[in-house]
Structure 1
Amino acid sequence: MGSRWEQALEPADLALKLATKDAIRGAGGQEFLSESLGRSQSRFSDYGSPNKPDFIPIDLVRKVQALGAGKPGWPHITHALARADGFDLYKLPETGASSGDWLAHVSAISQETAEITTKICASVADDLKVDRDDIKKHALIADAEQLVTLGVQLLAQLRAVAEG
């Protein structure tokens, strides 16, 4: 059974505490951050503990996440904040003024859209629905994430050209 404080946490706050703990671990741990960022080790422990009321200050979020860049789950805290508000994150690609090969990019979007559409059609062929087994069998989440990533890349390319 959790502490009184932990039981009082809303799911989004608990997710934020756990994401903070993961971010601290990914950035090198409490002791490393204590030495690097001038806060006590116990403060970093409190920030990631669902048993303590303290949340990590926003100025430290960017510093901690920068130190853990590229680790699995990164940026942990930003993801948790986005999810709490109903968003998901996709990293914007680096784009140049020319913004790459338009034909190849539009082709990739078309191919990925066709692939996931074919898989969804196969899923609904037997019972007119997509269920958990269909999602696993056809790797629909990975395909949908790839499609969103391609869309984000297209958006970034269009913005780069528009902003010149």
Structure 2
Amino acid sequence: MNTVSAVLGDITTQQVDAVVNAANRRMRGGGGVDGAIHRAGGPDVLADCIARFPRGLDTGDAGWTTGGDLPAQWVIHTVGPNYAAGERDPSLLVSCYRRALQVADDLGAGQVAFPLISAGIYSWPLVDAIAVAVDTLRSTESAVRDIRIVVRERPILELVHDRLGSAPAV
């Protein structure tokens, strides 16, 4: 079982080897976490997306780019299912976390920060999104030693900590 923690903060400022981006299929930036990572990472992230993923990525898949101006060396992009658009197969969401960890292992990343994939503008129900994140990250075999779920709001942090079975850190 992997060590998974939850932190309150901004994923773009995490001091980790890689941050996970909840990307869209086009891999050209967007809103929410995707937009924040592209803005903070600068033009090198987008240039690398265009070069590495000229046709984008499929839902549930993952790939990496430079971290650009982020503190993280790499961005691991994964395309979450859009619940609001009818993509409601939970195996797609599970695949996002598993594939991101596989990419992290390929890169040799020891510390990876995750958002709650699909829980924002893609409208995956929050409690279910948290359960999938925690359960998948804990059960997927990986060499990553520090797996963090980064959230921006204390009530969400408390829900993640409830699922993790730990008390919230300040």
Q: TM-score range by the shorter chain?
A: under 0.3
Which structure carries more helix by proportion?
1
| TM-score, with structure 2 as normaliser | 0.26
Which structure carries more strand by proportion?
2
Query: Does 1 or 2 have the higher relative contact order (CA < 8 Å, sep 6+)?
Result: 2
| TM-score, with structure 1 as normaliser | 0.26
Structure number, greater radius of gyration:
1
